[in-house]
């Protein structure tokens, strides 16, 4: 499973990537939308974990751009703003698989990733 982590909080995203690596998940991380676009263009990922609020390009805009590059890429949104219920309300509009509120429990995150992969394989 290849995962791209995108968040402007470098300490968060780099640590999360390291923890995922320890669990045998190949995780790359970037801190800007532009870097994420480059990464997706140069490498194939199964899932992108995007922060909703980022400078310059927000997670929602980034998702639209990444869909053009890799239409089969799946998305999980994470945010420190609002509540899970807010994201659940917005999920149908954004087309994201899951929404998680910071601080994220890594076991929950891995569980969601696995569910996405199972759904993807079924399709």
Partner 1 sequence: MIFFEKLKPKFWDYRDVAAGPFKHLFNFRRLWALAVALTSLVALIPLISITLIDYRVTQKSVESEVLLRTARLVSNTWRPVSFFLTERRSALDFVVRDNSYNALRDPKRLSAILENLKQGFGGFVDLGVIDSTGRQRNYAGPYELEGIDYSNQGWFKDVTNKGVNVSDVFMGFRRTPHIIIAVRYDLPNASFYVLRATIDTDRFNELLAHLEVSGQGDSFLINKDGFLQTPSRDYGKVLDRIPLHVPDFSPKTRVYEGVYPDNKQLVIGYAYIHDTPFILMIVKQKNELMKPWQKTRFQLIGFLIASIAIIVFVVLSVATYLVNRILIADQKRIMTLHEVEYSNKMASIGRLAAGVAHEINNPLAVINEKVGLIKDLFSIKDEFKGNRKLIELVDSALSSVDRCGTITKRLLNFARHLDVKIQMVNIGEVIGDVLGFLSKEAEYRSITVSINVPGDIPQFESDRGKLQQIFLNIVNNAFAAVKDGGSIDITAKREGAGLISVTFTDDGCGIPGSDLERIFEPFFSTKTKQGGTGLGLSITYSLVQELGGSLVVHSEVGIGSSFIVTIPLKMEKKEKKTDEGVAGR
Please tell me whether residue 12 binds partner 1 under the rule CB under 8 A: yes
Residues 90-119 touching partner 1, rule: CB under 8 A, are 101-106
Is the separation of the CB atoms in 63 and 94 below 8 Å?
A: yes
DSSP state of 23: T
Q: Which of 6, 16, 37, 76 binds partner 1 (CB under 8 A)?
A: 16
Q: Which is nearer to partner 1, 73 or 100 (CB)?
A: 100
The reply on whether position 9 binds partner 1 by CB under 8 A is yes
Nearer to partner 1, 4 or 12 (CB): 12
CB of 83 to partner 1, least distance (A): 4
Q: Of 57 and 101, which has the nearer Cβ to partner 1?
A: 101
Q: What is the DSSP string of 48-116?
A: EEEES--SSS-HHHHHHHHHHH-TT-EEEEEESSS-HHHHHHHHHHHT-SEEEESSPPHHHHHHHHHHH
Does residue 84 bind partner 1 (CB under 8 A)?
yes
Exactly one of 34, 61, 85, 108 binds partner 1 (CB under 8 A); that residue is 85
């Amino acid at each position: 499973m290849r995962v791209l982590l995108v968040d402007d909080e470098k300490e968060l995203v780099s640590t999360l990537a390291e923890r995922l690596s320890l669990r045998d998940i190949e995780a790359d991380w970037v801190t800007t939308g532009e870097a994420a676009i480059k990464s997706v263009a140069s490498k194939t990922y199964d899932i992108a974990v995007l922060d909703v609020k980022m400078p310059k390009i927000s997670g929602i805009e980034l998702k639209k751009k990444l869909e053009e590059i890799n239409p089969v890429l799946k998305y999980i949104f994470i945010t420190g703003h609002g509540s899970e219920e807010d994201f659940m309300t917005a999920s149908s509009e954004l087309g994201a698989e899951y929404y998680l509120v910071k601080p994220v429990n890594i076991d929950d995150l891995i569980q969601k990733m696995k569910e996405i992969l199972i759904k993807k394989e079924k399709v």
